[in-house]
Amino acid sequence: MKRKRSYARQTREALSVLGKLIRIGRIERGMTAQDLADRVGISRTTLHNIEKGAPGPEIGTVFEAAALAGVRLFDQGDAALRTENGRLAEKLTLLPKSVRPSRTEVDDDF
Amino acid sequence: MKRKRSYARQTREALSVLGKLIRIGRIERGMTAQDLADRVGISRTTLHNIEKGAPGPEIGTVFEAAALAGVRLFDQGDAALRTENGRLAEKLTLLPKSVRPSRTEVDDDF
DNA sequence: TGCTCATGTTCAATTTGATGAACGTTAGTG
DNA sequence: CACTAACGTTCATCAAATTGAACATGAGCA
């Protein structure tokens, strides 16, 4: 049974922001909801949920909608994203591949 | 029938970047995959897909994983996100609520 | 080096989101 | 103002993601 999820405020806010950015981008580009939905390859219903900031839709479709609406994810375009991707890949090789829980716990203050 | 989707490069790159950011954040905080998965409320399998940059997972769980891994979505924390949310809400009220396709099409040369 | 546990990966069963139609409402345009 | 199309919303059905277990591999640590 899949439990009902709870989300941190940051998560809810981020979802809401992204949804609004997509809607704004879509409107500024003069696209109807049906237009964008067709291009993304989803239904108008799902796009509506995305713009509403719902947590359920697949991240792939949301990011695709953002891309087609002109929203720059991570404030970066294609090229910068690829560069960033490379940097992160490098950084990952410098980190331990496996996390061995030491005595110092996760220190989850807050 | 749900057709197999295709994603723009920007989308794929963004997914990959976000996945790596989450993994890096998790490792730097000394959390095992199981740790983070438990906190997010998902299975280790799904977290693995998220860190791999798969397009399928729900955006809500991905963002939640990011939040719990210390990744700042949109380069902003809670407060800034709320502010941004407000700004966007305002901006939306200034835009047309309904997009009326004018004769100048979206000009999506295909 | 050897041991232990985190990780990578696959799989069937189940839960969930996506779909598309339908309907009422709203807003842009003539 | 009137008209038309975009928008908001609901719902049953179906396809897809999630789950949790299981196993192999590999990395970290004594």
Residue percentage of chain B with pLDDT more than 70: 89
CATH number belonging to domain A9-94: 1.10.260.40
Which amino acid makes up residue A89? A
Contact A1, B39 (CB under 8 A): no
Provide the pLDDT for residue B104: 47
Provide the pLDDT for residue A101: 72
Backbone angles phi, psi at B72, to 5 degrees: -90, 105
> Which residues of chain B make contact with A8, given a CB cutoff of 8 A?
64, 67-68
Provide the pLDDT for residue B102: 64
Rounded Cα distance, A21 and B72, in Å: 17
Q: How far is the CA of A98 from the C1' of C2 (A)?
A: 18
Provide the pLDDT for residue A102: 64
Instruction: Report pLDDT digits (tens) over B60-76.
Output: 999 999 999 999 999 89
With distances taken from each CA to the C1' atom of nucleotide C6, the closest residue turns out to be A98
Q: In this complex, which protein residues place their C-beta within 7 A of any atom belonging to strand C?
A: A 1-4, 41-46, 49, 56-58, 61, 97-101; B 2, 27, 32-34, 44-45, 48, 51-52, 58, 96-98, 100, 102
Diameter of chain A by CA atoms? Answer: 56
The residues of chain A scoring below 70 in pLDDT are: 1-3, 102-110
> Which nucleotides of strand C come closer than 7 angstroms to any CB of the protein?
5-11, 14-21, 26-29
Looking at per-residue pLDDT, the higher value among B42 and B107 belongs to B42
Which residue is listed with tokens 């950015």? A21
* Domain coordinates in residue numbering, chain B: 9-94
B89: nearest CA in chain A? A20
Is pLDDT of B109 > 70?
no
Q: Which three-class secondary structure string do you get for B41-63?
A: CCCHHHHHHHHHCCCCCEHHHHH
Torsion (CA) A12, B61, B73, B70 in degrees, nearest 10: 110
What pTM value is reported for the model?
Answer: 0.92
Buried b or exposed e, range B53-78, using 16+ CB within 10 angstroms: bbbebbbbbbbbbbbbbebbbbebeb
DSSP reduced 3-state for B7: coil
